[in-house]
A and B are shown apart, each in its own frame.
Chain A
């Protein structure tokens, strides 16, 4: 059995291998978070999965974030899990310009549907993905609904009053 691996050790191993390409380790809500760029993310995932000591063999989730007021408008977030040490790591990649990033399908098979979902909601293109099309929304949809420029709600509706749904305070003076 290998010796215990903790977050400190993980950061050490990554900086040995990747240097400044993987930076700014934080631990929000007790979970190690690292930032990298879109050229390093695939080698980084490969390294963390194949490293015999750490064994981050499970991709928990891939999701997107939209920051409409930032130069780097989109972020892709990867969550990976090491069962053997019960450690989770979050990897973030900020994308400037065209929202394009290489696919992780060749490393984690489970990335297939997660990337389709991220594409479906944010329009982030995963280059090299074998079947990048919508997964949850109707195929005819023309927008990427989780982007901030598209309203979450249909504004044309007037028969449902916000008062009935607890959105404004009707019981007290504001």
Chain B
């Protein structure tokens, strides 16, 4: 990343000094900025959306350009889970468990029609969960069947914007606990 771009995107001020500079900014903003720019996805795909997800990860679209550096095969090292495909009732507890095993802060993208609502084909069958948000909370929904890699990148960049624009996860948790105690 070139320095000029970095200066534009950094949430705070840069005071130039001879031989270097000093960065100042709100801690929350800096935390969100660093989190948003280093989201490591989990290797998780349950059907055809996963093929598009792999495509997004590989050379032509290369999500590393946006900070989604490498996909991790363990939830303990992942920040982001992309639900790429149909979630059936048998998979639902597994998905929940993976989500629980991810370390905070963690984010979720529901990719494609199946993850959003059960899908265009099997939306009403005996085995399909009618939307992954019945199992875990979702941050960004991206429609399509499957969505193109550009669409997935758009969703991921939207997630970055969402992270940068709000409070940190810790601040949200403190606030909600304070509300509960009232």
Contacts and interface: CB of A to CB of B under 8 A. Distances in A.
A153 B120 CA distance: 13
A157 interface: yes
A104 B130 CA distance: 37
A38 to B, nearest CB: 28
A137 interface: yes
Contacts of A136: 90
B89 A165 contact: no
Given A136-B90, A138-B89, A138-B90, A160 B124 contact: yes
A145 interface: yes
Contacts of A157: 124, 130
B10 interface: no
A16 interface: no
Interface string B118-134: 00100111110010000
A71 interface: no
Interface in B91-130: 120, 123-127, 130
Interface residues of A, number: 12
A170 interface: no
A137 B125 CA distance: 12
Interface residues of B, number: 9
Nearest to B123: A160
Contact of A154 (B90, B120, B124): B124
A150 B127 CA distance: 13
A20 interface: no
Nearest to A165: B120
Kindly name the residue among A138, A150, A152, A157 whose own CB sees the greatest number of chain B CB atoms within 10 A: A138
Contacts of B130: 157
Kindly name the residue among B89, B120, B125, B126 whose own CB sees the greatest number of chain A CB atoms within 10 A: B126
Nearest to A164: B120
Interface in A141-174: 143, 145, 150, 152-154, 157, 160, 165
A33 to B, nearest CB: 30
B24 to A, nearest CB: 51
Contact of B127 (A145, A160, A165): A145
Contacts of B90: 136-138
Contacts of B89: 137-138
A154 B127 CA distance: 10
B126 A145 contact: yes
Contacts of A137: 89-90, 127
B123 A152 contact: no
A167 to B, nearest CB: 11
Contacts of B126: 143, 145, 150, 152-154
Nearest to B93: A138
Nearest to B117: A160
Given A136-B90, A138-B90, A153 B124 contact: yes
Contacts of A150: 126
Nearest to A153: B124
Interface of B: 89-90, 120, 123-127, 130
Interface of A: 136-138, 143, 145, 150, 152-154, 157, 160, 165
Across chains A and B, which 6 residue pairs bring their CB atoms closest together, nearest first? A153-B124, A145-B126, A138-B90, A138-B89, A154-B124, A157-B124
